[in-house]
Chains A and B, each alone.
Chain A
Amino acid sequence: MTSKNELSLVNAIKASRRQFMIGTGVALATTALYRPAIANGGEVTIISDIGNAGQRAVLDSIAADFTKKTGTKVTINNMDHEAHKTAIRSYLVVGAPDVCFWFSGNRMKAFVDRGLFDDISDLFAKEGYSDKLGATMTAVTVNGKQYGLPLGGILWGLFYRKDVFADKGWTAPKNWDDFLKFGEAAKSAGMTPISMGTKELWPTGGWFDHMNLRINGLEKHLALMEGKIPYTDPTLKPVFDKWEELIKANFFSASAPSFGWEQAGAALAQKKAAMMDLGGFIKSAFPASEEGQIAFAPFPEIVPGVERYEDFSVNSVHIPAKAKNRQGARDFLAHFYQPDNLGAFLEAEGTIPPRNDCPPSKDPLVNIAVESLKGVKGTSQYYDRDTDPDMAQDGVKGFQEFMVKPERRDQILARLEKTRARIFK
């Protein structure tokens, strides 16, 4: 499943991260003027999995604008986000649209390996994207070829309410001792220190990522994701020891498996919980009038000296290999990917633009994330995007069990190791 290529991606991310971060969010005058391809009529079909109504409206207007310029009709079929995750596997094989949304990294690679996504390196060359994209380009690159256009990035970390922290006189914990003290303070204030809903399983994966990145660093974390380190490896022991310490100290929401991340986010908004580990989309759990209260802090340091690595996941847009109108799809993507259009599209979602020439965001959360990324040494995507989907499914399930029954750690890890051995032969 894995290759040397992916490690080289990591190195590339590390190398170009700095340039990317400096460029991102900074407004530059658009130099590349878009020229529509020969207006040839025809039709481009898109399957969209966007749940956000505002963002769908932006996509609609970009599509209408494209039709006006080129005469190409654009049909957008909207799907439920979760349902799309299962539907994509059948429609890529039979009845592919011309453009579809998906996730980069290993999630994309799974389809690239099976020849289901079109190689769009030609579009990259023609539009000169490599100069504009920086590090996120590696997230859509396999064996030196590009298979998608990166969309918004999500920086993961701890979110909290400014008013609550000001009221209690708290500051965001910087290191492990701070974090433990903060938890005690939150508990004595009658709040859950960390809001957590694990019904959808994946939030546990994010927590594991943070702990492992802070303790073992990026390289070892990615080696684990690629199946090169066993789950029973002694380097993981401190990760679960520390995690268990938090669980036993009642840091996390009680009965977390019975509700999802949205309810957990609501608990933060309602001041029942003090912090929550998520991406900027946490704002959807807040009433619009209180979005200004949301603040971000990086996950605290655990082992001094380990550099700051973060989960930074990137969504992307692709052309299926079996698309009927592959040229039309390229023309549409070139139009869609213009800095102004892309900027408007991502602004509605609140994610970080991959292009360094998008207009600056008006969303304070995005700007905070952009600022925070400057101090980041390297990034992983997210547990369920970095590792094999089969492994991820068993992994997040195991972490959920660990959070409820930490005493079963050895059984759980032995089970995960069995899965790893089966998948990464």
Chain B
Amino acid sequence: MWKKHRNWLTPVLFIVPGCILFGTIIIASSVESIWISFLDWDGVGQKSWVGLANYSELFADPQFYVSLKNNIIWLVMFMAAPPLGLALALLVNQQIAGMRILKSLFFIPLVLATVTVGVVFGWVYDPNYGLLALIFGLFGATAPALLADEHFVTFAVVAAALWPQIAFCMVLFLAGLNNLSSDIIGAGRVDGARGWNMLWHVVLPQLRQVGFIALAVTVVGALRSFDMIAVMTSGGPFGSSEVLAYQMYEQSIFSYRFGYGAAIATVLFAIMIVFITWYLRVMVRMERETR
């Protein structure tokens, strides 16, 4: 019995637990969230059907556009992480004495929990006794209260979040650099490529896959940004640093509006879907090319 069906049973047995987990935790709860977004529900009491009312309220809510704008700021600023990570990787990938220490210095932010990074940067930005205030003080200037200013706050939070993100990209690229084909590099050298030419025509093409993964991880990281905001500003001042994920949390948890929160989640999901579709298409194309 087992012998006869082993060929198809073994893979099925391996896949089933994953499917169950993915099905219940990702698929089912996503579907349920979309369902809840059509309800008026406080999280514990009666649910009542309101149709698209949550959405029409959301699209008329100025906070929604603030959050959306901040999501875009996150996305755009986070795009700096892959190139900077690559630059760092190229820098620390050289055979120079003491490079290991330098490598680990750049690597450290990745070890810290993002919440820790948030708390530490909160202190750095403190206008009274933070590092930033000290630096400004050296030049006889007063540091701006970055986290209390509605125009600067998102940039300040993203800057803090970029630190571990760049380190993450650096690690990805370092792994990629270790896997470079020495044959191709040798061939390039014979053809007289060095410096910039070598990087552009020989090294970078081989890092394409890694670069794509770094980009994908960065986009996801930017869109799901939440913890840094919760720690550093709680969405403040007056909601100006909220992103969709934080607004969803705030509405569901603090305002007891699960239906409205689910509507925000659904919009965020729709934005993600656009990206995921693009990602899957590129992945499939890459698979075909390498085959």
Contacts and interface: CB of A to CB of B under 8 A. Distances in A.
Given A255-B148, A256-B148, A258-B127, A201 B236 contact: yes
B8 interface: no
A387 to B, nearest CB: 12
Nearest to B253: A86
B254 A393 contact: yes
Contacts of B236: 198-199, 201, 257, 397, 400
Contacts of B126: 258-259
A302 to B, nearest CB: 25
Contact of A92 (B44, B62, B125, B257): B44
B18 interface: no
Given A92-B44, A389-B254, A389-B255, A258 B147 contact: yes
Contacts of B257: 390
B45 A114 contact: yes
Max chain B Cβ within 10 angstroms of own Cβ: one of A114, A254, A258, A390: A258
A423 B237 CA distance: 24
A400 B237 CA distance: 7
A200 B230 CA distance: 11
A397 B127 contact: no
A306 interface: no
A79 interface: no
Interface of A is mostly: helix
A257 B254 contact: no
A89 B126 CA distance: 34
Contact of A393 (B44, B147, B233, B250): B250
B237 A404 contact: yes
B43 interface: yes
Interface residues of A, number: 29
Contacts of B239: 397
Interface of B is mostly: loop
B254 A404 contact: no
Interface string B242-258: 00000000100111110
A257 B237 contact: yes
Given A389-B255, A400-B238, A401-B238, A199 B145 contact: no
B140 to A, nearest CB: 18
B234 interface: yes
A344 B43 CA distance: 37
A119 B44 CA distance: 19
A250 B45 CA distance: 44
A273 to B, nearest CB: 12
A90 to B, nearest CB: 8
Contacts of A118: none
B256 A390 contact: yes
A114 B44 contact: yes
Given A393-B254, A393-B255, A199 B234 contact: yes
Nearest to A88: B44
A27 interface: no
Interface in B119-152: 125-127, 145-150
Contacts of A394: 255
Nearest to B236: A257
A398 interface: yes
A393 to B, nearest CB: 5
Max chain A Cβ within 10 angstroms of own Cβ: one of B127, B149, B237, B257: B237
Contacts of A398: 238
Contact of B238 (A259, A389, A397): A397
Interface string A95-119: 0000000000000001101101000
A396 B104 CA distance: 44
Nearest to B149: A255
Contacts of A259: 126
A93 interface: yes
Contacts of A114: 44-45
Nearest to B147: A258
Contacts of A389: 254-256
Contact of B145 (A200, A254, A390, A393): A254
B241 to A, nearest CB: 10
Max chain A Cβ within 10 angstroms of own Cβ: one of B125, B234, B236: B236
Nearest to A408: B238
A172 to B, nearest CB: 26
A89 B43 contact: yes
Contacts of A200: 234
Contacts of B237: 198, 257-258, 400-401, 404
Interface string B53-79: 000000000100000000000000000
Interface in B221-245: 233-234, 236-239
A200 B231 CA distance: 11
Interface string B32-50: 0000000000011100000
A415 B239 CA distance: 13
A404 B44 contact: no
Interface in B100-128: 125-127
Interface string A374-407: 0000000000000001100110011011001000
A394 B234 CA distance: 14
Given A258-B126, A258-B148, A93 B44 contact: yes
B262 to A, nearest CB: 15
Contacts of A111: 44
19 contacts: A110-B256, A111-B44, A198-B236, A254-B127, A254-B145, A257-B147, A257-B236, A258-B148, A258-B237, A389-B254, A389-B256, A390-B256, A393-B254, A393-B255, A397-B236, A397-B238, A398-B238, A400-B238, A401-B237
Interface of B: 43-45, 62, 125-127, 145-150, 233-234, 236-239, 250, 253-257
Give the 3 A-B residue pairs with the shortest CB-CB distance, closest first. A255-B145, A401-B238, A257-B237
